[in-house]
Chain A
Amino acid sequence: MNKLFFGLRPVCRKEFTHIVRDPTTLFFALLIPLLQLFLFGYAVDTNVRQVPTAIFDESQTQESRNLVQSFAASDVFLISSYVQSAPEMYSTMRSGKARVAIRIPYDYARNLQLGRTASVLVLVDGSDSSVAGTTMDAANGVALEESLARIPGLVSPAIEVRPSVLYNPSTRSANFFVPGLIAVLLQMMTILLIALSLVRERERGTLEQLKMTPIKPLGLMVGKMIPYGCLAFGELCLILTVMRWVFQVPIHGSVILLLLMSLPFLLTVLGLGLFISTRAHTQAEAFQLAMGTVLPSVFLSGYIFLISTMPAFFRGVSHIIPATYYIQVLRGIILRGSTFADLWVNALVLTLMGAAAILLAARQFVKQGAG
């Protein structure tokens, strides 16, 4: 055991010295994820509200004005302009001034009075899929309400759905996105720091010198993981503090459990960083490779898109992305108050992934050492 990790202590001590010797790097390493947390935490809001809407009212009747009122009354639509012709309506949509256009035909009021179905055209800008989905639902809702109001003698609808949202009752985006963001930020920072630290040694020639010492690959790697792991852990605590007190996201589960369950994730990303460093010859290369891991972790980890609605192939891919498991842990503990019994599988998978990454990196390293 001692032989396998030979050199761990001196490497670890040296690495801590490097970190404190360079306060600028340390400062930016800790500050930049925090800045990004503020930036993205405030920017990302998927609740669709106040969508600019253009009205093309050909009917110009009391009935049509009532309908427009109903649309305006919902929080989803914001009547931004009235247009006078079909071409004008389309150009407003094309220019992006309006995301939704509502065309009320000239026979709208007459059809209603004759008891016939009156149709209304709702144009939706599909270029933003979440806006499109929400506005279509809202438009249908408005139509349904208007229709029900016209049934004589109806006091209350036959069936009423009363939704009650558990775990994130106000359905605030911040509650959903900030926990996921923690995984992405932590991953970016950790991979980058550890990969650069090893590649720097390669560039400066100190790695060659280390290979001449009896230091074992695992000693070197774990010796580097400990200081950067500590740094990442400190950053995690900082981020959680900001999340709790600035973004007001309450932590429903155990904070201790959350911190403990973060360790397997840190292990995995540290291992990944080391593996990247065995593949990169220069710091620039390492930087690009590290950045290459970010996009999959954002888009395929369930951070933004639901994994269950992904095509089968990408669902498979999401299972090999460490952030997937950690985001489930974060959301579980922070939003739902999950316990270890709910999440132990995630911790196990992350630990295995981490061990695999470190062993792969060490093997690669030995191979390079021997040519």
Chain B
Amino acid sequence: MSAASSAVGHNVISAEHITIKFGDFTAVDDVSFQIHKGELFGFLGPNGSGKTTIIRALCGLLPLSGGNATILGMDVRQHAAEIKQHVGYMAQKFGLYEDLTVEENLKFYAAAYGLSTARARTRIAELLELTGLEPYFHRRVTQLSGGWKQRLALACAIVHSPEIVFLDEPTAGIDPVARRSLWDLFFQLAGQGVTFFVTTHYMDEAERCGRLGYIYMSKLIALGTIRDLQQLPDANPAGTSRLEIEAPNAATLLTGMRQAPGVREATIFGRDLHALVETDRIENLKSLYPQCKMRMIEASLEDIFVTLTLHIMAEQAGAKR
């Protein structure tokens, strides 16, 4: 595992060899990472890989079975209550009361975090301006679209001005325009020094993150900036190259291409094929498919994660045998 870090500022989240078990099942296995102030950290991995579990443990909602974690220098085991005041959390099912209005939700969470009435009023005004929820202030949540609900959920999660915000798949199921404007909001807040820890399935969202972690089968198998990940030896096996293959009808070529000598992986990307090919066989492949234009490319995030996952799966299959 790479512990690469382009350290700027100080660590606000630090996980050292954390392990979380539910009975015999190890949901999180020896995971370590550091996150710096103002960073937008993306956490990727398939469903059930342990992303949500890590967030819940860092928020003090789940006990650690092993290892240490600190938030703003406070140990999550000892200072769970104190940590809550500095951390915002937006779960997959964001915690809005659908029968209450936008105003009532905001006021409730402001009071729940112990904000004084005066402080709550100014803070809510700030949040309305930030999220653009002003026109919906007196509407019930049921009447809002998914994108506006998400904005409200974010507003509720940061009503106490936390330094760190955990977002668990914040954009699942909302339209691309709402998604982009939500991300703009994250960047705006990150610019103010708020640290974001975001889990996502979307590669385009991952690419917006400053740094990424990739978790698979309870283990963190990659960590770093996109550049770091592109240079991982496991993502670019020695003697191979990535090719973008432009073909008149890529879909019909896929099966044949996968079986062509020297081709390790091939997949469709829009109207093209992306393939991982042994470098010394490229000329051979070009002669097999004279109708195609081929050029070398850098691995995309998806390429990297697919290669890493296949690599781990092959290792595990090997270990079993």
Contacts and interface: CB of A to CB of B under 8 A. Distances in A.
B9 to A, nearest CB: 25
Interface centre among B85, B94, B108 (most CB of A within 10 A): B108
Given A213-B112, A214-B81, A208 B104 contact: no
Chain A contact residues: helix, strand, loop or mixed: helix
B111 interface: yes
Given A6-B114, A213-B113, A208 B100 contact: no
Given A7-B112, A370-B62, A209 B91 contact: yes
Interface in B55-105: 59-63, 81, 84-85, 87-89, 91-100, 104
A10 B89 CA distance: 19
A215 interface: yes
A13 B104 CA distance: 10
A212 B84 contact: yes
Contacts of B104: 14, 17
Contacts of A14: 97, 100, 104, 108
A22 interface: yes
A21 interface: yes
A215 B84 CA distance: 10
A370 B109 CA distance: 21
A10 B97 CA distance: 13
A208 B97 contact: no
Contacts of A212: 59, 61, 84, 87-89
Given A6-B114, A10-B108, A369-B61, A209 B100 contact: no
A23 to B, nearest CB: 11
Nearest to B100: A17
A18 B99 contact: yes
A22 B99 CA distance: 8
Range class of the B interface residue count = 20 to 34
Contact of B114 (A13, A209, A214, A369): A214
A216 to B, nearest CB: 9
A215 B95 contact: no
A205 B62 CA distance: 16
B112 to A, nearest CB: 4
A208 B92 CA distance: 10
Interface in A8-60: 9-11, 13-14, 17-18, 21-22
Contact of A210 (B59, B87, B95, B107): B95
Contacts of A370: 60-63
Contacts of A208: 61, 91, 93, 95
Given A204-B93, A209-B91, A371-B63, A10 B99 contact: no
A94 B99 CA distance: 58
A211 interface: yes
Contact of B95 (A21, A205, A369): A205
Interface centre among A9, A21, A208 (most CB of B within 10 A): A208
Contacts of A13: 108, 111
A206 interface: yes
Contacts of A6: 114
Interface in B217-232: none
Interface in A227-262: none
B96 A206 contact: yes
B93 A214 contact: no
Given A14-B108, A17-B104, A209 B81 contact: no
Interface string A165-204: 0000000000000000000000000000000000000001
Contacts of A209: 89, 91, 94-95, 156-157
A213 B62 contact: no
A371 B56 CA distance: 10
A214 B91 contact: no
A213 B91 CA distance: 13
Nearest to B90: A209
Nearest to B92: A205
A204 B107 CA distance: 19
Contacts of B93: 204-205, 208
B111 A21 contact: no
A224 to B, nearest CB: 13
Contacts of B157: 209
B315 to A, nearest CB: 31
Contacts of B99: 17-18, 21-22
Interface in A336-371: 369-371
Contact of B84 (A9, A21, A22, A213): A213
Interface in A55-93: none
B216 to A, nearest CB: 23
A341 B60 CA distance: 50
A122 B96 CA distance: 70
Contacts of A9: 111
Contact of A214 (B63, B84, B89, B92): B84
Contacts of B100: 14, 17-18, 21
Nearest to B82: A214
A210 B112 contact: yes
Interface centre among B61, B63, B96 (most CB of A within 10 A): B61
Contacts of A206: 95-97
A370 B61 CA distance: 5
Nearest to A203: B93
Nearest to B20: A371
B163 to A, nearest CB: 14
A21 B81 CA distance: 32
Given A208-B95, A212-B84, 4 more contacts: A204-B98, A208-B93, A214-B84, A215-B112
30 contacts: A6-B114, A7-B112, A9-B111, A10-B108, A10-B111, A14-B97, A14-B100, A17-B99, A18-B99, A18-B100, A21-B99, A21-B100, A22-B99, A205-B95, A208-B91, A209-B91, A209-B95, A209-B157, A210-B95, A210-B112, A212-B61, A212-B84, A212-B87, A212-B89, A213-B112, A213-B113, A214-B85, A370-B61, A370-B62, A371-B63
Interface of B: 59-63, 81, 84-85, 87-89, 91-100, 104, 107-109, 111-114, 156-157
A-B complex: 5 closest residue pairs judged by Cβ atoms? A209-B95, A205-B93, A10-B111, A206-B95, A213-B112
